[in-house]
Each structure stands twice: as C-alpha cells, then as structure tokens.
Amino acid sequence: MREFDVVEQTDVSEEVAYERRLTWRAVWCLALVVVIVLVRQRYLG
C-alpha cells in the first residue's frame, strides 16, 4: 500500500464540466458535417 497524505477530497467539478462541454461540441461538429453532406446532395453535387 502506498502511504501518501490524503488532504481532502479533490474537487474535479471544473474538469468534469469542461469534458461535458467537449461532448456537446463534438455533437455540433458532427452536425456541421451532416449539414455539409445535405447541402452537397441537394444543391451542389
């Protein structure tokens, strides 16, 4: 067993919130790809 000093429970809420925002940003970027595909199919292909 490792013997490190445990000071207090770490607050990782900021990090977790940022990672959640990244998930949503991925959704928007995928949506951008879908829009490009639809525009191409309908108007520019």
Partner 1 sequence: MTLLHELSLGGKWLLVCTVMIGVVPLLAASYQFLLVALHSRTNHYGKVDDHLPRTAILIPAWNEEAVIGASIDRLMLLDYPRDRLRICVVDDASTDDTPVVIQAKMREYPGNVVHMRREKGGQGKAHTLNHGLAILLEDDWMEALLVMDADVIYEPPSLKKMTRHLADPEVGAVTAYIKEGSRPGNYMTRFIGYEYITAQAAARRSQNVLGVLACLAGGAQLHSRANIEAIGGRIDTSSLAEDTFTTFKTQLAGRRVVFEPHAVVWAEEPGSIDSLWKQRLRWARGNVQVTKQFRHLWFRPDPGHRLGSVTFGVFWFCLFLLPVIMILISASLVALYFIDFPLSWATFHLLWILAGLCYVFTTSYALCVDPGTARHTWKEGVLFPGLISITIITYACFPRPARWCIHSTTELLGFHLTHGEIHLAILFAYIWLAASMPVAWTARLLEPKRAGRYLSPAIVYVVGYGPLLCGVTFNSYVKELRGAAMTWDKTEKSGKVGMPA
Q: How many whole angstroms separate alpha carbon 39 and alpha carbon 25? A: 21
Torsion sign (Cα): 31, 35, 36, 40: positive
Q: How far is the CB of 31 from partner 1 (least distance, A)?
A: 10
Residue 35 backbone dihedrals phi, psi, to 5 degrees: -60, -45
- Using rule CB under 8 A, residue 44 touches partner 1: yes
Binding status of residue 26 toward partner 1 by CB under 8 A: yes
The site for partner 1 (CB under 8 A) is made up of 1-2, 4-10, 12, 14-16, 18-20, 22-23, 25-30, 32-33, 36-37, 40, 44-45
